[in-house]
Amino acid sequence: MKVIRVPGEMTAWAKEQAANGKNIGLVPTMGFFHEGHLSLMRMARTHAERVIVSLFVNPLQFGPNEDLAAYPRDFERDGRLAEQEGVDVLFAPSVDDMYPDGFQTTVSVSTITGHLCGANRPGHFDGVATVLTKLFHVTGADCAVFGEKDYQQLAVIRRMVTDLNADIEIIGHPIVRHKDGLAMSSRNAYLDAAERETALCLSGSIALARSKAEAGMTDTGELTRLVRDFILSFRGTEIDYASFVDCRTLEPAGRLDDNTLLALAVKINGRVRLIDNGLVLEDNESADEGWAE
Ligand code: AMP
């Protein structure tokens, strides 16, 4: 596996591959790999002859009071894991190379970023859309794989690619979970043992909504109250949002239907913000990897 740090070198390598008729799959990440990231790398391999994993903790997508400085990092371990997955290039640029002096362009997607994380993290999706536009250009990727764990991010990127006629296929990957249901996340590293238990309120509330829906409850107002009460019954939880939305538009859902998604962002002990989501009516548990094994 090659490690490339300079954007120009990344582009030169990608052009050489394209000239040799090889198509390129990209997996954008912020590192501190877990099985979720590794599954995305495997999926990229099934779509592309060359796989690039980018590792860049993007300052543009962190708010002033967020965890940019504390974000977990372990470059050596990430390199070993990516290599074991047969990744061709680990692209790990510096902040200065991505945003040199004089940088002044922002890519901004509007309506779909107005909900959920977009409403709670001003500027977050501008940072995401801007860095991904750069990564798509630098790598010349034919396809890119994203996890449904960051459901809104996937929706925003699909919108951006359509709106800008970007010649890249966006591929979604189901959420990868620990056996007890917790969605894998680099931020789980912040949790102590008690908080790790508390974190089960997210996947637990998706399971709760599914069981109530199965029992015939279709009013999302009533379901929202149940889910909120459930989450708040865990010590130290604070709800950023717990919303039933249409999975295509992310607009609030009235009555449940096949497109209703429960999207969650919960802070634990004011420190660790976790997100999760799931379709309520579809038997999504079989689509999510690892749930209730
Ligand atoms: P991150 O490093 O957190 O920015 O994530 C990089 C990519 O991995 C994003 O597309 C995420 O949606 C995806 N990802 C993170 N956690 C999971 C998970 N538990 N299951 C599936 N995809 C994930």
- The set of protein residues with a Cβ atom below 6 angstroms from ligand 1 is 29-30, 36-37, 40, 146-147, 149-150, 173, 175-176, 183-186
Q: Residue 40: what pLDDT?
A: 98
**Nearest ligand 1 atom to alpha carbon 174:** 21
Mutate to test the pocket of ligand 1, among 60, 124, 149, 156 (most ligand atoms within 8 A of CB): 149
Question: Residue 293 above 50 pLDDT?
Answer: no
For residue range 123-136, what is the model confidence (pLDDT) as tens digits? 999 999 999 999 99
List residues with catalytic annotation. Answer: 37
Per residue in 62-79, is it b (16+ CB within 10 Å) or e — as a string?
Answer: beeeeeeeebeeeeeebb
**Could you count the other beta carbons within 10 Å of the beta carbon of residue 221?**
10
**Nearest ligand 1 atom to alpha carbon 148:** 12
Mutate to test the pocket of ligand 1, among 173, 180, 203 (most ligand atoms within 8 A of CB): 173
CA of 175 to the centre of ligand 1 (A): 8
Contact assessment for residue 112 and residue 129, using Cβ atoms and an 8 Å cutoff: no
For residue range 81-126, what is the model confidence (pLDDT) as tens digits? 999 999 999 999 999 999 999 999 999 999 999 999 999 999 999 9
Q: Residue 198: what pLDDT?
A: 98
Q: Which pair of structure tokens corresponds to residue 186? A: 């680099």
Question: Residue 286 above 70 pLDDT?
Answer: no
**Nearest ligand 1 atom to alpha carbon 145:** 10
CA of 233 to the centre of ligand 1 (A): 28
* Entry pTM: 0.96
Quickly tell me which residue has 């107002």 as its tokens.
Answer: 221
Contact assessment for residue 96 and residue 6, using Cβ atoms and an 8 Å cutoff: no
Mean pLDDT, residues 242-264 taken together? 96
**Nearest ligand 1 atom to alpha carbon 185:** 16
As a whole number of angstroms, the distance between CA 41 and CA 50 comes to 11
Task: Using CB atoms within 10 Å of the CB of residue 34, give its burial: 0 to 12 exposed, 13 to 18 middle, 19+ buried.
Answer: middle
CA of 63 to the centre of ligand 1 (A): 19
Mutate to test the pocket of ligand 1, among 26, 32, 40, 66 (most ligand atoms within 8 A of CB): 40
CA of 193 to the centre of ligand 1 (A): 22
CA of 53 to the centre of ligand 1 (A): 12
Q: Residue 189: what pLDDT?
A: 96
Q: What is the mean pLDDT of the chain?
A: 96
pLDDT range class, residue 282, cuts 50, 70, 90: confident
For residue range 163-198, what is the model confidence (pLDDT) as tens digits? 999 999 999 999 999 999 999 999 999 999 999 999
Q: Name which residue sits closest to atom 6 of ligand 1, judged by CA.
A: 29
Counting residues of the chain whose pLDDT is more than 90, the rounded percentage is 96
pLDDT range class, residue 219, cuts 50, 70, 90: very high
